[in-house]
Every structure is written in structure tokens, then in C-alpha cells.
A = this chain, B = another copy of it.
């Protein structure tokens, strides 16, 4: 079978799923890297502080929430943000979160 992953139609994307997906710091890290021009990069290219299984899980959550697309390229998967779709569905939301994430870097996360 030619491997392909299911992506939700943008009209079926819920705010609940999007916010739940963005509530996790690791998933926001992925989104941030994708927003910084790391489009079409394999999952392994993101250096995340978790195991490979967990990494796969997070990418899956982002995809099922409608935030990213994933398509096969050989054995790898190329990831991309669904910027246009998200902006059509929830205008300004994704940009606001990405901006917030940038300005939140180096600040209190666990209150040191």
C-alpha cells in the first residue's frame, strides 16, 4: 500500500483540538521550528528531548489537529505548517501563538 496519512479537512478542524495541541511545549517547539523556515523537514531533523516514539506521537497530534501536513518522501516524512488553512479557519491565532512563543523564549517557564 502506498503510504499516506490522513489529514482533516480544514472545515472539520476544531478550536479545541488546535488549542490542546498547542498547549504542549514540545509541540509548540515543532510548530515554531516549522514557522522559522524549516519547512519540509523530516521528523528526525527536529532535535527534541524525547524518544522517537514520543516524537511520532506529537507529530501525529499536530497533524490530526489540522496544524501540519505530512507527506512521505522515501522513508522520511516531510512536515509543513498549514498556515493558510489555519489562518482561514482561525484568523490570527497561529501567528499570535508563534509570536508569543518567540517572545516567551528565555523567560520564566518553570520559574527558576
Contacts and interface: CB of A to CB of B under 8 A. Distances in A.
Interface of A: 12, 14-16, 18-20, 22-23, 25, 28, 90-93, 95-97, 99-101, 103-104, 107-109, 111
Contacts of A28: 15, 19
A104 B91 CA distance: 12
Contacts of A23: 16, 19-20, 22-23
B12 A100 contact: no
6 contacts: A14-B108, A15-B97, A19-B19, A90-B100, A91-B99, A92-B96
Given A91-B96, A93-B96, A95-B92, A101 B25 contact: no
Contacts of A101: 15
Contacts of A19: 19, 22-23, 28, 97
A59 to B, nearest CB: 18
